[in-house]
Amino acid sequence: MQENPTSTNPNGGSPEPAPLQRRFIAWLLDRVVLLPLTGGLLYGLIEMKSLPFAILMLAAEAAYKPIMEGLSGQTLGKKWMNIEVVNEEGFSPISWNQSLLRFLPWAAIFYATVFIIVRHFQADGFMEVDSWLGYIEFSQKHPLGENIFIAMINYLPLFSVMWVMSDPMRRALHDRLAKTVVVTAD
């Protein structure tokens, strides 16, 4: 958890909700930070054909958000954009439980992706895939490529984030579940 609780804004009252643009840019920056792990995942799938290595890369990528937010209330992207996740009651640092609750939409994608990757490794023709474009094509032709349940899971974060548009504190659904809010940091 954070060492210093978030203070109130200079005008008094509670901290201001983080602007949507900053949150989006923070997400993009986090994607850049995670590129080596994403590259490692693709390398494990396509070049090494190693299921354990691919799952290790996927797990490391998945662990980034809840661990960083649990430790400091910020991922690197949030830190660079001067925003942080705080408890909606008192604007104090979030707990590990809140960090994990905020991660639920991405956790569902993680588990679905592990399931898909395992099934890909078991499928005929997977060992002949030799490029990321070939992997995309293989993935689309695989029976799970058109599975409506898997597609719905992949859209959970987007569904959660859509709540930001209508919430006065700009909370996503996962923020409401975890009783957190993303605010402009000191």
The pTM of this model reads 0.87
52-109 pLDDT, tens digit per residue, is 999 999 999 999 999 999 999 999 999 999 999 999 999 999 999 999 999 999 999 9
Q: Is the pLDDT of residue 11 over 60?
A: no
19-49 pLDDT, tens digit per residue, is 999 999 999 999 999 999 999 999 999 999 9
CB 74 within 8 A of CB 6: no
C-alpha 102/C-alpha 93 separation (Å) is 14
Task: Give the residue-averaged pLDDT of 140-167.
Answer: 92
C-alpha 11/C-alpha 124 separation (Å) is 63
Only one residue has tokens 């490794």, namely 121
Task: Give the residue-averaged pLDDT of 168-178.
Answer: 95
Confidence at residue 4, expressed as pLDDT on a 0 to 100 scale: 43
C-alpha 99/C-alpha 106 separation (Å) is 12
How far is residue 101 CA from its own chain's centroid? 12
Three-state secondary structure call for residue 2: coil
Confidence at residue 12, expressed as pLDDT on a 0 to 100 scale: 53
DSSP-based helix, strand, coil % in the chain, nearest 5: 65, 5, 30
Give 185's contacts (C-beta < 8 A, 6+ positions apart): 6, 74, 78, 82, 83, 84
Give 124's contacts (C-beta < 8 A, 6+ positions apart): none
Percent of the chain predicted with pLDDT > 90? 88
CB 171 within 8 A of CB 163: yes
More confident residue, 76 or 146: 76
C-alpha 61/C-alpha 146 separation (Å) is 25
Q: For residue 17, what pLDDT band results from cuts at 50, 70 and 90?
A: very high
Lowest-confidence pick of 82-86, 124-128, 161-165: 161-165
C-alpha 20/C-alpha 30 separation (Å) is 15
C-alpha 178/C-alpha 100 separation (Å) is 8
